[in-house]
Each structure stands twice: as C-alpha cells, then as structure tokens.
C-alpha cells in the first residue's frame, strides 16, 4: 500500500495527460451529462406563475446547475473501461503490474477532475449570478460539501466497479448498468428534486444509495440542508461508500480468480 501511495501522484499526472489528450472526447462526454438543462427548462416553465414547493424559478436554476456541477465532479466511467478490458483481454497487462488495478483505475478517474472543474466552473458562476443559490460560505458547510462530493464519488466509483466486475461472470454487464442508470435518473434527484416527490418516494430515495451520489451534495451546496440533515446524510453516505467498497473488492477478487481459472 505504501508503494501504491508513493506511485499515486505519478499516476494522477499521467492520468491528467491522458485526459488532456482525450479532451475533445471528454468534452463530448461531459455534454452528455447535461440532461438537467432539459429539466431546468421544464421546471422553470412550471414555476413561472407560482413556486413549486420551496422552489421558485431561481431556485430551480440553482438546483439544476448544481446538479450538473456535482455530477461532473463526482462522476465515474470506470464501468466501461472494466467491461471493455475484461472482454478484450487487455486486463491482463494491468494484472501483471505490481499495483492493484482498482488503485490505477481510481487515479485515471480522479486525474480528469481539473478538466471537469474547468467545465463546471462557468455553470457554478451562472448559478451564483442567477441569485437563486445560497452558496456555502461557512468553512464547516464548505467542508461538508467537499466531504459529500467525495462520498458521492466513492459510492459511484465502487458501484461502477461492482457492475463492471459482473462482466467476469456474465457475457456483459452493460444491461445491469442500464438498470442502475435508470434508477439513478429517478431516485438521485437528477431530473426532479426529491422533495417534489410524494413522501413515500422521498422516504424510499433517502434509504437507497442513489440520492447520496448526487442529490445530497447538491442540497448541501445550495443550502437546502440544515446541520442535522448534513450530519445524518454524511453518515449514511459514508456507510454506503464503505459498503460499496467492500462488495466491490470482494467481487473484483472473485472475478480475477475466475479470470485466472477460465481465461476470461
């Protein structure tokens, strides 16, 4: 682990160079994550005459721009990489290196963050200028947001590893990812703020992991959560993060054993 930690800065530097090399592809990729703009247009029209719950037009602008920002900064695409490498056999060259492949994958993912910040920053400024966002200014709220953002990335990354690792056991696990994505769209707050749902859906969303990959950090960012809700949210989020990491590592280990037994 010590060796992996000392290698990590170099992995991040190379990962960043790769992200820059793929900048056009990445930009197009990032543009596919702009679905909340559609929701924004829709909900702005709905709230033009009267607010919907706590949301007026400005709050919707702040909410959906924050959604895009959080999704940009906490997203992970490792599922595609894992599935493709298992199917093509290129995973072999990773397995021959004296570093855990998940550490290398995580560095690849995190290394793209600066480019994602470049994309997300103008949106954050627009959100701020719209006047609907109450951006956190207290250090503890900022710290809570950064923690929740990291927690969202941890859950997303390890869930993607879990789904990708299923490809060790089935022809392709892309269909499982599609199911995850559909539930994510509905229950994370990506298309509709969760508090606009009926209470039973809201309760369900609070119990499931999807909200903690997006809606929760968004609520912290735009000041929709009080201190108690933040602490409770962080606790649930990190419980999910640790749980996902444990399952991902176990599944990965079993998958690599199977890869060794059956040749992928």
Partner 1 sequence: MNDRGQGIDVAGLQKDYRVHRRTSGLASTLRSVFRRTYETVTAVRDLSFHIEPGERVGFLGPNGAGKTTTLKTLSGLLHPTAGRVSVAGHEPRLREHRFLKRITLVMGQKQQLLWDLPPVDTFSQNRAIYDIARPAFDATLKELDDLLGIGAIAEKPTRQLSLGERMKCELAAALLHRPDVLFLDEPTIGLDVSMQLAVRDFIRAYNERTGATTLLTSHYMDDVAALCPRVIVIDKGRLRYDGSLSKLVEKIRPDKSIVLRYAHRPDRAALERLGTVTECEEAKAVVRVARPDLREAVAHLLLDPALSDLTIEDPPLEEVLRDLFAQSATEST
- Between 19 and 73, CB nearer to partner 1: 19
Does 97 engage in binding with partner 1 (CB under 8 A)? Answer: yes
Paired with 55 in beta bridges are 52
Least Å from the CB of residue 170 to partner 1: 12
CA triple 76-152-178, angle to 5 deg? 50
Least Å from the CB of residue 6 to partner 1: 7
Find all residues with CB under 8 Å of 44, minimum gap 6, and list them: 57, 60, 61
Cα–Cα distance measured from residue 205 to residue 192, given in angstroms and rounded to the nearest whole number = 12
Least Å from the CB of residue 108 to partner 1: 10
Cα–Cα distance measured from residue 153 to residue 112, given in angstroms and rounded to the nearest whole number = 13
Does 6 engage in binding with partner 1 (CB under 8 A)? Answer: yes
Among 96, 139, 199, 226, binds partner 1 (CB under 8 A): 96
Does 78 engage in binding with partner 1 (CB under 8 A)? Answer: no
Does 5 engage in binding with partner 1 (CB under 8 A)? Answer: no
Find all residues with CB under 8 Å of 231, minimum gap 6, and list them: none
Does 254 engage in binding with partner 1 (CB under 8 A)? Answer: no
Does 18 engage in binding with partner 1 (CB under 8 A)? Answer: yes
CA triple 124-129-132, angle to 5 deg? 85
Among 24, 32, 93, 199, binds partner 1 (CB under 8 A): 93
Least Å from the CB of residue 187 to partner 1: 31
Find all residues with CB under 8 Å of 187, minimum gap 6, and list them: 194, 201, 204, 205, 208, 210, 211
- Between 5 and 228, CB nearer to partner 1: 5
Q: Which residues bind partner 1 (CB under 8 A)?
A: 3, 6-7, 9-11, 13-14, 17-18, 21-22, 89-90, 92-93, 95-99, 104, 257, 259-263
């Amino acid at each position: 682990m010590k060796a992996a930690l000392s290698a990590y800065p170099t992995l991040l530097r190379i990962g960043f160079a790769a992200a820059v090399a793929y900048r056009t592809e990445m930009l197009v990729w990032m543009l596919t994550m702009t679905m909340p703009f559609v929701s924004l247009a829709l909900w702005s029209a709905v709230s033009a005459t009267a607010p919907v719950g706590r949301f007026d037009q400005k709050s919707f602008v702040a909410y959906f721009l924050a959604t895009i920002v959080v999704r940009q900064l906490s997203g992970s695409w490792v599922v595609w990489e894992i599935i493709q490498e298992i199917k093509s056999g290129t995973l072999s060259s990773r397995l021959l290196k004296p570093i855990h492949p998940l550490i290398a994958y995580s560095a690849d993912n995190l290394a793209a963050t600066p480019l994602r910040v470049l994309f997300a920053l103008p949106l954050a400024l627009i959100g701020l200028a719209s006047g609907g966002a109450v951006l956190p200014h207290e250090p503890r709220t900022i710290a809570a947001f950064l923690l929740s953002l990291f927690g969202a990335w941890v859950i997303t990354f390890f869930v993607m590893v879990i789904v990708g690792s299923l490809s060790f056991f089935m022809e392709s696990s892309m269909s499982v990812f599609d199911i995850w994505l559909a539930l994510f769209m509905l229950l994370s707050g990506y298309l509709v703020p969760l508090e606009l749902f009926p209470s039973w859906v809201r309760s369900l969303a609070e119990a499931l992991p999807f909200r903690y990959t997006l809606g929760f950090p968004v609520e912290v960012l735009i000041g929709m959560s009080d201190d108690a809700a933040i602490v409770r949210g962080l606790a649930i989020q990190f419980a999910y993060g640790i749980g996902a990491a444990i399952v991902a590592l176990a599944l990965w280990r079993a998958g690599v054993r199977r890869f060794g037994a059956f040749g992928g």
